[in-house]
Amino acid sequence: MSKVLITGGAGYIGSVMSNFFLLNGYDVKVADLLWFKKDAPSLYRGNPRYSFVKGDICDAAFRDSLLEDIDFVVHAAAVVGDPASKKFPDLTYKINYEASIKLIDKARNSSVKGFIFLSTCSNYGISEGLANEESPLKPLSLYAETKVDVERYLIDKVSDLDWVICRLSTVYGVSPRMRFDLTVNDFVLNALTTKYLNIFLPYTYRPYIHVSDAGRVISEIVKKFDKTKRNIFNIGFDGENYQKIEIANAISGFIPDVKISVTEKGADSRDYQVDFSKLQKYVDLKNSFRVESGIKEVLGLLNSGKITDPKEDIYYNTSPDTGGLTG
């Protein structure tokens, strides 16, 4: 059976993705530094096809030790998001670009069959109409710039290793390594706890995908690698482009007493809608969640009492005070 290495596999997406690969019969090896929630790998440690190694992919010896007997690399390890990249610019460049290039080059000189790179739809920045995989890239943050640079390296320099580039929509929903600094999750938390949302640039668009759907799609891309290899895919589903104000209004259907105000200005000028028709031609899957059902799910988690303090640092890629809570 094929063996998959997931870097950052204890993170928000990686911890969900691990489950889908296990369900599909893969052996899964996860490498993660465990910056945030420390116990995500424990969910799978009883599974004989799951293994976990703690370490930093910026460390050459650790990075080089990862690829023995690996068939596919799913590279999710990164400093993720615009706020985190602004707060940690040197670390962002070191992890997101330098370590990624070195991992790719190591994979080129190994028995790895395929390298799946998790990129972002944020690469489109501001788009007119629906952005497809051929649309111009206009990164507006260091985070997106590093993702674009790694994409270009794969496309322009790597002919001796098959790869897939996955440009992810903005993710939401419940994960073993929960995050409350993502737009949908963040809005739900603040609407529930403060009954107030101030939405910056409320009419700007983004595409959204539930973390479970993201993990399922990526595992399917690997499963169909002979068909999907050497392609770029926008990861998401048609009909899932939303304005921020639409998300706030959907939340008000569950929390009627929330007060919503808007601020027409804001530091984050990203505004893009994305076309996902190419993905559907290669990977014929339907989404299990829409934003409204994701809102209900996150509300259920918060009301369950399983999370005692959702403002705790482990739920944020930067601290709650600097993460841009309703931006």
Q: What is the pLDDT of residues 302-318, one digit of tens each?
A: 999 999 999 999 999 98
CA distance 221 to 226: 9
Tokens representing 115 are 């390298």
Bridge pairing between strands 50-54 and 27-32: parallel
Residue 121 in domain? yes
CA distance 28 to 223: 13
- Calculate mean pLDDT across residues 201-228: 98
Q: How confident is the model at residue 2 (pLDDT cuts 50, 70, 90)?
A: very high
Residue 8 in domain? yes
Number of domains in the chain: 1
Question: What is the amino acid identity at position 280?
Answer: Q
Q: Could you give the C-alpha distances from 228 to 5, 13, 172, 222, in angstroms and in order?
A: 18, 20, 25, 8
Bridge pairing between strands 196-200 and 27-32: unpaired
Residue 271 in domain? no
Confidence (pLDDT) at 42: 84
Residue 322 in domain? no
Residue 153 in domain? yes
- Sequence-separated contacts (24+) of 212-216 with Cβ below 8 Å: 212/16, 212/173, 212/288, 212/289, 213/237, 213/285, 213/287, 213/288, 213/289, 214/13, 214/16, 214/17, 214/168, 214/169, 214/171, 215/13, 215/16, 215/17, 215/18, 215/19, 215/20, 216/20, 216/285, 216/288
The model's pTM: 0.95
* Cβ–Cβ under 8 Å, residues 238 and 208: no
For the sheet containing 205-210, what is the strand order?
170-172, 205-210, 241-243
Residue 197 in domain? no
Tokens representing 231 are 């392609």
Residue 75 in domain? yes
Q: Residue 24 sits in a domain of what CATH number?
A: 3.40.50.720
Between these two residues, 267 and 3, which has the higher pLDDT value?
3
* Cβ–Cβ under 8 Å, residues 202 and 316: no
Tell me if residue 209 falls in helix, strand or coil: strand
Bridge pairing between strands 241-243 and 72-75: unpaired
Q: What is the pLDDT of residues 168-193, one digit of tens each?
A: 999 999 999 999 999 999 999 999 99
Mean pLDDT lowest among 139-153, 196-210, 309-323: 309-323
CA distance 97 to 57: 11
Q: Which domain holds residue 216?
A: 3-171+209-235
Residue 200 in domain? no
Q: What is the pLDDT of residues 268-303, one digit of tens each?
A: 899 999 999 999 999 999 999 999 999 999 999 999
Which residues make beta-bridge pairs with 167? 119, 234
